Amino acid sequence: MEFFRIHKDIPFMKHALVFNVISLITFLLAVFFLVTKGLHFSVEFTGGTLMEVAYTEPPALERLRDTLADDDYASARASVNNSHYTPVFVIEAMWQAVERFGFTGGRILEPAAGIGHFIGAMPRNLAERSSATAVEIDRVSGRILKALYAPGGVDVRIAPFEKTPLPEQWFDLAIGNVPFGKYKVADVSNRAYARFSIHNYFFGRALDLVRPGGLVCFITSSHTMDAQYDAVREYIAAQAHLLGAIRLPKGTFAGIASTEVQTDILFLRKRQRAEAVEAKWLKLGTVPDSLRHPQCYERYLPINAWYAEHPQFCIGRIRRESNGYEEVPVAVFEGNLEAALAERIALLPSGAYRPVAHQAAPLRVVVPAEAGARPGSYRLHQGRVHRVEGCEMVDVHDQLNATQRARVTGLCAIRDHARALLDAQLADEGDGRLGHLRAMLGGTYERFVSRYGCLSTRANALAFRPGTGRRRPFASTAA
């Protein structure tokens, strides 16, 4: 059967040389990019498109239990209350806010990364000029995160945020949707925020890790702003300046996370030493008439004073609704939430962030902590002061001034001599050996006291809390 009748011959072979040259150039380019770029299997840490997948029916738990290993199932079950992912339009709006502040790239931390929605939605121009560290507590989500983004250069840590050793005052930006609830994290350190609720803990820890002038942009429970007691807000305000806040209405996360929780997006900039503490958002006020829902007739609904002064940053109208425990003020919105959020982002201040030039990051060397070392205690390693974080020792030598380093070094020497003496006594060693160890301990103690005073003096205590709120000056001999 003939479909086409061609009356003219096409001389392919006449142009064979041209086609061969094009093929050769294409092949050489492919080899060049293979050598220089390597195989990435279409997974690149340069932003991209996210797909939201939601289940319309409850999962088959028995099948899930049979599929996952025991440790993975236990990890997934332990994190189920906080495995609430974020709508992509909210993530994209937060990145727009970050760019509006003036962030053009740098060291980025996502402390509750899930499977990497924030990293995947990062604008390409930021991703190409940034290095990212992602922390995720759930083993299954963490492995998915690692498979997706570790090949592109993301430093993925599968561990609880509170137990992950990270350098303080290092990151330029911390961003994400933090877990929230009325429970506390398992942080046994002496940090001032260690007893905060989990969502507020993430603010405290992130502010330790972000450099002065850096940004912390988190989605959090509205209780951070609206809690009756302002101790948490006072602590955060002492560390950071509130650039802006946006109250998201009830139901923002209903589609992807099946939760009606009310949340805020807080945008913070860590204070420089000379900056004054701002107190406008520490106290509570009352909902202004412009924010009150038409069906709400209560005139004294409590809300953070910042929203009372800036009602344009609250999406929706406020009325009382039950949260399952009590009736609380809730923002209710009927309309295009994505467009409303974009309008609020455009109201945030521009140019609030100042980038800094970073030196090339040194190779990260993991120094394992000795068995039984107490988290938060100090150790000396190769003449430098380290602090125990989890199962590692983090170099904090450069975070201390010369006097603090000298005090910490002296206290560590006293502790080590005291332990050596106790070990020798328990081993029932001879009097000669015990006498030598006693003399070493006594001499070290007397030299320290003659120069820095008694161990319990305030100056020695302060040497062990360089701006992070540690209260106990000296780790016990069991540490």
| 281, amino acid identity | W
CB atoms near residue 249 (< 10 Å): 22
Here the tokens at position 37 are: 């770029």
More confident: 296 or 301: 301
**Tokens 């609206």 found at:** 226
Are 55 and 225 in contact by the 8 Å Cβ rule? The answer is no
DSSP state of 352: -
Q: Give the tens place of pLDDT for each residue, 138-180.
A: 888 889 988 998 888 889 998 899 888 888 899 999 999 998 8
Alpha-carbon span 468 to 137, nearest angstrom: 23
Instruction: State which H helix or E strand residue 395 sits in.
Output: strand 392-395
pTM of the shown model: 0.65
- Which range (112-121, 254-263, 403-412, 464-473) has the least confidence? 464-473
Phi, psi of 223 (to 5 degrees): -70, -25
Helices 231-239 and 198-209: crossing angle, nearest 10°?
Answer: 10
Highest mean pLDDT among 27-31, 78-82, 153-157, 254-258: 153-157
Select the more confidently predicted residue: 89 or 468: 89
- Match 């001879």 to its residue by tokens: 430
DSSP-based three-state secondary structure for 474: coil
DSSP 3-state assignment of 24?
helix
The residue among 341, 307, 303 whose CA lies nearest residue 92 is 341
What CA–CA distance (Å, rounded) separates 228 from 284?
7
Within 10 A of 473 (CB to CB), how many other CB atoms are there? 19
Q: What is the pLDDT of residue 19?
A: 76
Residue 260: pLDDT band with limits 50, 70, 90: low
Give how far the C-alpha of residue 442 lies from the chain's centroid of Cα atoms, to the nearest Å: 44
Look up residue 478 and give its two tokens.
Answer: 């069991």
**How many CB atoms within 10 Å of residue 118?**
25
- Mean pLDDT calculated for residue range 181-191: 81
H helices of 105-197, in order, are 117-120, 124-127, 139-149
pLDDT at 3 over 60: no
